[in-house]
Amino acid sequence: MPDLPIGRVSRLNPLSVHSIMHGIISLCGGATAGLFTVFMMRHADETAVRSSVWVGTLVGVVMVVLLVVAYIVTVNHTTSEERLQQLAQ
């Protein structure tokens, strides 16, 4: 079985297909978290319309940011020079 070449990502390209795909998935994850928050707040108090929308929006934005940061940290860690040197040995 041939070994796959080990390469290093010198920089993250935000216009690459993989980054755009991950951005869309992160937006969907944030929207899901925000909608879940809105529905749970409305379930607890049916009169809390505006506050649940604002809190849901905040939760959604925070979730998108966390998912994108997790992606960047994971790619940078996975393709770090030290890790690639360990895998090459």
pTM: 0.79
CB 43 within 8 A of CB 56: no
Q: What is the pLDDT of residues 2-26, one digit of tens each?
A: 454 555 566 677 888 888 999 999 9
pLDDT digits (tens, 9 = 90+) for 38-73: 999 999 999 989 999 999 999 999 999 999 999 989
| Burial per residue of 4-27, b for 16 or more beta-carbon CB atoms within 10 angstroms, e otherwise | eeeeeeeeeeeeeeebeebeeebe
Helix axis angle, 17-44 to 49-78, nearest 10°: 150
Segment 35-40 shows an average pLDDT of: 96
Look up residue 74 and give its amino acid: T
Residue 1 has pLDDT above 70, yes or no: no
